[in-house]
């Protein structure tokens, strides 16, 4: 689980690297918020793999992660 958490955390931090210029929320807080969200959503997919198409599911996650945080 630690490897999964670290991988998601690293990816989110990379995608949010310019966010700290636009918000007073610490990047670590933003990252932890989204890591928890991604893990919970992925858990939903693992529990119900037939409910969602994997490509659609990945697209949903990408759409839910904002390009800009104020």
Percentage of the chain with pLDDT > 90?
20
Is pLDDT of 50 > 90? yes
Contacts for 51 with CB less than 8 Å, ≥ 6 apart? 45
Closest alpha carbon to 20 in 31, 34, 9: 31
Residues 51, 63: contact at Cβ < 8 Å?
no
Q: pTM above 0.95?
A: no
Higher per-residue confidence, 46 vs 2? 46
Where residue 7 falls among pLDDT bands split at 50, 70, 90? confident
């Amino acid at each position: 689980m630690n490897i999964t958490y670290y991988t998601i955390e690293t990816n989110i931090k990379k995608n949010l690297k310019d966010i700290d210029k636009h918000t007073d929320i610490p990047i670590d807080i933003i990252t932890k918020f989204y890591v928890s969200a991604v893990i919970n959503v992925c858990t939903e997919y693992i529990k119900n793999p037939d409910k969602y198409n994997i490509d659609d599911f990945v697209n949903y996650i990408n759409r839910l992660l904002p390009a800009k945080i104020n």
